[in-house]
Structure 1
Amino acid sequence: MSLLRSARFPAIVLLAAAALGLIVANSPAAGSVDAVMHAELGIPGVFELSVSHWIKDGLLAVFFFVVAVELQYELTSGQLNSARKALQPAIAAAGGVVLPIVLYAVIAWGSDAAAGWPIPTATDIAFALGVLAVFGKGLPSGLRVFLLALAILDDIVGIVFIAVLFTSGVNIAALAGAAVAVVAFGILSRQLDSRARVLIAIVLALLAVATWVLFVLSGVHATIAGVVLGLAMAQRPALRVRHELEPWVNVVVLPVFAFSAALVAIPAVPMSQLSPAFWGVLVALPVGKVIGISLLGWLSLRIGHRGGPPPLSFADLLAAGALGGIGFTVSLLLSELAFAGEPPLRDQATLGVLAGSVVSLILAAVLVSWRAWHHRRLTASAPKTA
């Protein structure tokens, strides 16, 4: 089980699942898999969703619950529990959001692809930490902390975009019902240490399902249900639930989503005829993230450490920026939402996410390896103290 919780293994599984999805979509099996993805499941005439929607709206809500629990912990007890601690990675995260948007907008300006500007703003926490674990032996702990805070803040931005930009025709009654269920869930979760904890746990599970269904019916994207439940749950039981869910998220939820999102047929057109949706994401993820995060991160660390050297060098921040360019999970979801009614643009944006994330992954592997070697050499040459 420890292997399933490690940073390295899930990143490898995620990449393999995406590669498999891309291979299947460009093989003779593509038609059969597509038919399965569009098959309706649920209670006929009452509540039905396609397999694709069950994955995107259902399974991914579990992933967002886990992210929200980690966010709640970091905001209350961890690395972001004060404005001062959150300021520096927040400034770097702002650079890693704004510059990719600008680059994408410049490339896609005036085209049908302009609506895809939120796609390159996300950072995949699991993937970035996986690359850091594989190639970053010897790096200062401050870089991991900085990257974790950065990725969490990026995810907050992605969650806000999903909630604000991709919600239409809201059913107020269903949303109000979801709000009541979330409040009841939060209150009841604080009674889990009582003698009736088994009964309470069952009721909490039912409330969680009810919240998700009500979000689906409300018109607000269902993954937000996972976010609000993760933030509302009492911290101690929430961390226990996160611990139990983590292996399932790593080897089932994220790989299944990556496989389904990567079911994209590679267009048989010359590179020059690919849409700005592809080029915008391909450029904005690796280039925008590296430049935005490293420049604003460097400025934030300089401002926050007057009178002494900053804890991370500009070269370390370049490595963090490259890691930030691995958009993957949330970027894939954003591409699905941004071009939901335009499958050709959605597919090209998805290819851009995959290609941009792979470019960022390779660049990050090189930069992280270099910085790890540099810090190991510094540690080896440092004078030993008695």
Structure 2
Amino acid sequence: MPLRRIIGPIRELSESGKLSGLLLLLATVVSLLISNSGWSGAYLHFWEMPLGWPPLEKTAAHWVDDGLMVVFFFSVGLEIKREVLYGELTDFRQALLPMLAAVGGVVVPAGIYLAFNAGTPASHGWAVPTATDIAFSLGILSLLGEKIPPGLRVFLTALAIIDDLIAVLIIALFYTAELHLPYLLAAGGVFAGLALLNRLKVNMLPLYFLLGLALWFCVLKSGIHATIAGVLLALTIPTDAIEKLEAALHKPISYFILPVFALANTAIVLSAESVGELLSPLGLGIGLALLLGKPLGIFGATWLTVKAGISSLPERVTWYKLLGLGFTAGIGFTMAIFVANLSFTDPSRIALAKLAVILGSFLAAVTGLVVLHLADKADDSKVAGNGVIE
């Protein structure tokens, strides 16, 4: 009986989608606590410990970012492909609203960041606050349960998927090191082979994964970030296997890969000086871009699109609720921390960027919850007053 009382709530959290977000939050808190305890030295040393052998010797933290996260990006690619083929992005006109909202949610935060950091060595980090963490954002919406109309959840999902696609393109175009042509050509050849298998309707998934491993190695050595290999592999997977693979990967990614990523990438030693640095141009640029840039960009782009008659708001989605969604989309976390690792080489700057992402995401989450709760109260008042929601 006691065991059932423990397992029951955990299963309920898992089914509601809240557990993955809570695990990410828990992993972050645990990592920060250990990093600032008596075990700090051993903990930081563990993530910097070299593993593997030449030409694949990396630190434990790099294996998480360049290895485990490839699986996460593979799932992102599967989701993008599924939505384009037969999901919310199939109809171009239907996809236009979240598409333009996602662009606004990238351009405005980048602009805010550059307003603080243009012309400085930190300007290369402009893409850090442009990404939305889909797991955390949907987890926040799930906290409000049936108060959130389905249209708002679908809109956020479509927006976050497009946001992820933009993030992948940004990583490929702006965060690529020196290119090594032989490996790049080899990667192109392997990808062409995968595309041919798909064209010939070959359904042997182990063959795709074997070639995918070769693709990952070639992309890694080419200078392009290794996670791009995950997305490229996903685009070649047979359509009838997409949903099965997504279902199989959901738990390993949500309950292992992303929490391990959080543990590895939030090992930050805090001090009065580092906390004070949050008010520096780098800290303010990231924090304000997530907290204010995301909602301003998403709300503004959506408002212009609707007022121009190009598209319309989803059913039962009010402007107030859209604003709450915009704040929720300011939860950058996973992807933002990932881009922070690519943006800077100075460890102190990386640590500050991650700290700003964590704080900005937390404030965005709380603000989003408050605004969505108030929006629901406002809708209830209208229903009580005249029986309809305007």
If the length of structure 2 is used for normalisation, what is the TM-score? 0.89
How far 1:111 moved relative to its partner?
A: 3.0
Correspondences of 1:178-193 after superposition (within 5 Å): 178-188=187-197
Q: Which one of the candidate residues 216, 229, 241 is aligned to 2:220?
A: 216
Question: What is residue 145 of structure 1 aligned with on the other side?
Answer: 154
**Residue 86 (structure 2) pairs with residue 77 (structure 1):** yes
How far 1:361 moved relative to its partner?
A: 0.8
Separation (CA, whole Å) in 1 of partners of 2:195 and 2:300: 40
Question: What is residue 28 of structure 1 aligned with on the other side?
Answer: 38
Secondary structure of 1:269's aligned partner: helix
**Residue 281 (structure 2) pairs with residue 276 (structure 1):** yes
Per-residue CA deviation, residues 106-129 of structure 1 (Å, 9 max, x unaligned), is: 122343322211111000111111
**Residue 380 (structure 2) pairs with residue 347 (structure 1):** no
Question: What is residue 172 of structure 2 aligned with on the other side?
Answer: 163
Separation (CA, whole Å) in 1 of partners of 2:156 and 2:105: 12
Per-residue CA deviation, residues 8-51 of structure 1 (Å, 9 max, x unaligned), is: 11011111111111112212212111211112222x33422211
Secondary structure of 1:79's aligned partner: coil
How far 1:291 moved relative to its partner?
A: 1.3
- Alignment check: 8 A CA contact 1:123 1:324 kept: yes
Separation (CA, whole Å) in 1 of partners of 2:181 and 2:97: 38
Amino acid corresponding to residue 157 of structure 2 in structure 1? L
Comparing 368-377 and 216-225, the one that deviates more: 368-377
Separation (CA, whole Å) in 2 of partners of 1:214 and 1:380: 62
- Alignment check: 8 A CA contact 1:138 1:372 kept: yes
Correspondences of 1:1-386 after superposition (within 5 Å): 4=14, 6-42=16-52, 44-188=53-197, 200-269=204-273, 273-274=277-278, 275-304=280-309, 311=315, 312-339=317-344, 341-375=345-379
> Structure 1 residues 376 and 232, CA, compared in 2 at 3 Å: closer, same or farther?
farther
How far 1:270 moved relative to its partner?
A: 7.5
Separation (CA, whole Å) in 1 of partners of 2:239 and 2:19: 27
How far 1:214 moved relative to its partner?
A: 1.3
Per-residue CA deviation, residues 278-333 of structure 1 (Å, 9 max, x unaligned), is: 11111110111111111221222233478x88743210110110111000111001
- Alignment check: 8 A CA contact 2:32 2:266 kept: yes
> Structure 1 residues 66 and 375, CA, compared in 2 at 3 Å: closer, same or farther?
farther
Question: What is residue 7 of structure 2 aligned with on the other side?
Answer: none
Separation (CA, whole Å) in 2 of partners of 1:64 and 1:4: 22
Amino acid corresponding to residue 29 of structure 1 in structure 2? W
Provide the aligned C-alpha RMSD in A: 2.4
Secondary structure of 1:105's aligned partner: helix
Per-residue CA deviation, residues 76-107 of structure 1 (Å, 9 max, x unaligned), is: 21111132112111221122111111111112
Aligned length: 376
Uncovered stretches (5+) of structure 2, i.e. residues with no partner: 1-10
How far 1:334 moved relative to its partner?
A: 0.7
Secondary structure of 1:49's aligned partner: strand
Separation (CA, whole Å) in 2 of partners of 1:186 and 1:375: 49
Separation (CA, whole Å) in 1 of partners of 2:331 and 2:378: 23
> Structure 1 residues 214 and 273, CA, compared in 2 at 3 Å: closer, same or farther?
closer
How far 1:264 moved relative to its partner?
A: 1.1
Uncovered stretches (5+) of structure 1, i.e. residues with no partner: none
Separation (CA, whole Å) in 2 of partners of 1:46 and 1:241: 30
- Alignment check: 8 A CA contact 1:178 1:214 kept: yes
Separation (CA, whole Å) in 2 of partners of 1:216 and 1:62: 14
Sequence identity (%): 34
Amino acid corresponding to residue 204 of structure 1 in structure 2? Y
> Structure 1 residues 305 and 203, CA, compared in 2 at 3 Å: closer, same or farther?
closer
